[in-house]
Amino acid sequence: MEARPLFSREEINNTVWEVPVKFIRLKQIGSGAYGSVCSVTNEKTKEKVAIKKLHRPFQSEIFAKRAYRELRLLKHMKMRANLCGVVGFITYLTFPNISFACVSSIYCSYLVMPYMFTDLSKVRGNLSEDKVQFLVYQMLCGLRYIHKAGIIHRDLKPGNLAVNQDCELKILDFGLARSTDAEMTGYVVTRWYRAPEVILNWMHYTQTVDIWSVGCIMAEMINGKTLFKGKDYMDQLTQIMKVTGVPGKEFIQKLDSPEAKSYMKNLPHYPRKDFSTLFPKASAQAIDLLEKMLVLDGDERPTAELALEHPYFDTLRDPEDCPDPKPYDDSRDNKYLKYKSKLYMLF
């Protein structure tokens, strides 16, 4: 009797998927520069899950580093799979009898995670304030956990926020996340949600870059349109200044780049806009929270923990939503250059 194959092979939208035969009914639900995601059903448990396939994880050191970091961070948070605001991690697909020489094949590029119905970028129509409130609360709970572990997400945007029909929200995609003491780079976050300090002086920023992104996303949910829709990074700064106002000398002195200082000094005078006029549908508490998150100077923004203490969340706040994490040890991220071998050791 012929043995049943261990894996099935299927091509979906020009991407080859090779997964254990227990995973059936593959359907692509997302795709980006670094990977694709399919919903699948576990034939044995009847559970629906999501599988993320990383594209070419060993094509370059940058790709391998991103894949390695994402997997390590997901493994670090695995014990809190039901954590409010952070995606759970079920497993990575391991394959018996695969040698190190085969690690660069597709066999080592799949992550299995809980299935979520859609992402925030696909949610259409006006959201009621209670839904906005609940979604932002979950974002901040997730960020509190991530930040207290010593991690900055750096790529918060609607497409990286998964949601279910009951408004349950999970933060996705930790491929660009970094530890807080690591050297930072400017290649982070879709431009429209990028904090101004990243554009102006990208080597020295803190966890509050994620808070800026939350403010942009909250504003978008309230008004139904992108708040800062710059055509390029210079136009992005201009769009931001037209809302926040041009900063004073103290902020400009913090900038290390002479070019950034010169740019800021030569900007026309933009006064800070009245947020109650900018967000006429929002409550006074929502406007106050937005004003605190969308402050030009990242040092003046609240942490996720402080933001959760805002009166806007008085009806939602629950200590069980905010457990303390174990610190993330990034020493293994920086110790070796052979990310291919490091990924192999994780399997």
Binding residues for ATP: 53
Comparing CA positions, the residue from 49, 135, 59, 143 lying closest to residue 91 is 49
Choose the catalytic residue: 119, 155, 173, 333: 155
Annotated binding site: 53
C-alpha 203/C-alpha 151 separation (Å) is 16
Three-state SS for 5?
Answer: coil
Check: CB of residue 182 under 8 Å from CB of residue 157.
no
C-alpha 91/C-alpha 107 separation (Å) is 14
- Assess whether 166 carries a catalytic annotation: no
C-alpha 217/C-alpha 211 separation (Å) is 10
Q: Give the full edge-to-edge strand order of the sheet including 110-114.
A: 23-31, 35-42, 48-54, 110-114, 91-92
Check: CB of residue 316 under 8 Å from CB of residue 163.
no
Q: For residue 269, count other CB atoms closer than 10 A to its CB.
A: 7
Catalytically annotated residues: 155
